[in-house]
Structure 1
Amino acid sequence: MKAIWNGVVIADSEDIVTVDGEHYFPPESLKREYTTFSNQRSSSWKGQAQYLSLFVNGEINPDAVWFYAEPSEAAAEIKGRYAFWKGVQVVE
């Protein structure tokens, strides 16, 4: 699967974990050169999510990437993996 935003592949992997319909990519698949800091946080049954913003071709997509550094025990399989929203297309 690929995560694409603003015409650029942000992540690419066959090792995807799906939880609640969201596709989580392994950390090594994320092209970190397109990410930047975000101080956004949120909480759910999975734990506390941290966010990253995307910066691609001169445009920013704030808080478009999230991950769980320390997920709940029930969501342990997504630890350190990245998911996307806010217009990021995830395609096969």
Structure 2
Amino acid sequence: MKAVVDGTVIAEAPKEDLISIEGNWYFPPASVRSELLAKSPTPYTCPWKGECQYFTVEVDGTRLQDRAWSYPHPYPSGVERVGKDFADYVAFWKEVRVTD
């Protein structure tokens, strides 16, 4: 699967390596082009997943604020609920299209 913005691939991995949580595909950290992401100061804590780290996606001079996120240290109960450790896996939304 791929996460793409205007033809630029931001993340790519086989579907079996991704984790689906609440309708979002989370890409393994090694599959994400981290040079296209900048940490965002936007705070959020999910009641069951834990403290979230948002990222601004930067592609060809375009900055898409908070269009990616991850959970660096998910709650143990969240990992148990998902059935796999999703620490640092990255999900995308809005202008970032995730396709097969």
Find the residue that maps to 1:74 and give its secondary structure: helix
Q: Which position in structure 2 is the counterpart of 1:82?
A: 90
Superimposed CA distance per residue, residues 38-61 of structure 1 (whole angstroms, 9 cap, x where no aligned partner):
111211121111111111011100
**Structure 2 residue aligned with 1:52, among 52, 55, 60?**
55
Alpha-carbon offset, residue 5 of structure 1: 1.1
Distance 1:61 1:7 in 2: 15
Identity %: 36
5+ long unaligned stretches in structure 2: 80-84
Structure 2 residue aligned with 1:3: 3
Deviating above 2 A after TM superposition, structure 1's stretches of 4 or more consecutive aligned residues are 74-77
Q: Greater strand percent: which structure?
A: 1
* Alpha-carbon offset, residue 79 of structure 1: 1.1
CA distance in 2, matches of 1:78, 1:40: 20
Q: State the structure with more CA Rg.
A: 2
Total equivalences in the alignment:
92
Name the amino acid aligned to 2:10. Answer: I
Give the match's secondary structure for 1:39: coil
TM-score (norm 1): 0.92
How big is the shift at 1:70? Answer: 0.8
**Structure 1 residues not aligned, in runs of 5+:** none
CA RMSD of aligned residues (A): 1.1
